[in-house]
Amino acid sequence: MPPNTMKFSNFLFPESRNPEGDFNVITEALQEAEFSDQLGYHAVWLAEHHFDGGCAYVDPVTFAAAIAARTKNIKIGFAVAQMALHHPIRFAEQIALVDNISNGRMIVGVGRGTAYNFYEFRGFGIDPNEAHERLLEVEEILVEAWTTENYKHEGKYWQVEIPVLRPQVFQKPHPPIIRACSGLESTLEMARNGRPFMMNIQSDQTTKERLDLYRGTMAQAGYDDEAISHNVAQSWVWRNVFVADTDAEAEADGVPSFRAMRAYLSGNRQRMNTVEELAAQTSAVTGAARDSVDHGLIYGSPETVCEKLQPLRDIGVGGIIIHFRLGPMPWEAVEHSLRLFAEKVAPELGAPLSPSPTNINDSLIPTLPGSA
């Protein structure tokens, strides 16, 4: 089997610590999507978080429409949309519309909802204990609504009846749906069902163990080697990455930004969750990899970052969802990191990007109000 050709993508998770900065941060995130498209990244991924400024654009569907209108080639995925917070038919219509606007570039990444920010569920009047069941029901409704006429559903949470969904989706039979898996069992559930997965930030060793178990479970479920290889190629893992000209520069800029980002997110939870909700949070062991600099951040010169990502290539990971803009990191540093990765890291990993013939400006970010 030839070495796996990894796909590289950009996770847009722009932090806005005060409402006065929302416009600037959202504008920069749109420009970051355009720049990623021009550099040839495979996809941009959008998150969904509410009420805390951790993800400034809040709504991935609306933001996906804006990105679709401003880009040409890059795929637009969710990592992830919180399905417990969405009406399934409204969501199906919105995705169908954006799939048409983008000429079929949508990837529908779904999840149960945050395991940490209970205040988001409270804001929408949803019991977090219902989130997983709601996810399963919405997944079923989405596929049927996109592919079936005179569809009727009588479920635990939703009762819907529609003659036909309009507009029809651009991709046939429907846009790809991929589920975020925070634990081993959910990953193996995807394997048994013959579906690809997204894996949150884990150590390389844990990533390898889960991917090996995923392959083995698919085989035990009766899938052949071709199906297994296809699913692995369509699966993604998260990593935080910062590239600078030298290791010293990467450490000086990347590590403080990463720590500030993690502290801000943790502080929001401490401030906005109730005492009972804090006690019910996913254990610290689950979050250890994403919080630790050693496991949660890959940083360095292009040569160093390439060396640190080589194990993922050897494991056979299909694609990496890369979080480039870490917390309060200034745009100039992010832009340089994106460019260095595209021009000096990806080719060395055997997966060169295909930049747009459009001229890539030295800086795409305009002068914003208050930044002059």
- When mean pLDDT is compared across 23-27, 82-86, 275-279, the lowest value belongs to 275-279
Please report which confidence band the pLDDT of residue 282 belongs to, taking 50, 70 and 90 as the band edges: low
If you ran DSSP here, which 8-state letter would residue 343 be given? I
CA contacts within 13 A on the Cβ side of 199: 32
CB of 324 within 8 A of CB of 338?
A: yes
Cis geometry, peptide bond prior to residue 366 (ω within 30 degrees of 0): no
Is the predicted pLDDT of residue 338 greater than 50, yes or no?
A: yes
Torsional class of 347: left (φ above 0), alpha (ψ -120 to 50), beta (otherwise)? alpha
Classify domain 7-349 at the CATH topology level.
TIM Barrel (3.20.20)
3-class DSSP state of 66: helix
Cβ-based neighbours of 372, under 8 Å, separated by 6 or more: none
3-class DSSP state of 65: helix
Closest C-alpha among 26, 124, 56, 8 to residue 365: 26
pLDDT at 359: 53
Is the predicted pLDDT of residue 248 greater than 80, yes or no?
A: yes
Distance separating the N- and C-terminal Cα atoms of the chain: 54
Average pLDDT, integer, range 312-317: 96
pLDDT at 295: 83
Q: Delimit the domains of the chain by residue range.
A: 7-349
At 64, the amino acid letter reads A
pLDDT at 299: 98
Q: What is the pLDDT of residues 84-137, one digit of tens each?
A: 999 999 999 999 999 999 999 999 999 999 989 999 999 999 999 999 999 999
Q: What is the pLDDT of residues 45-66, one digit of tens each?
A: 999 999 999 999 999 999 999 9
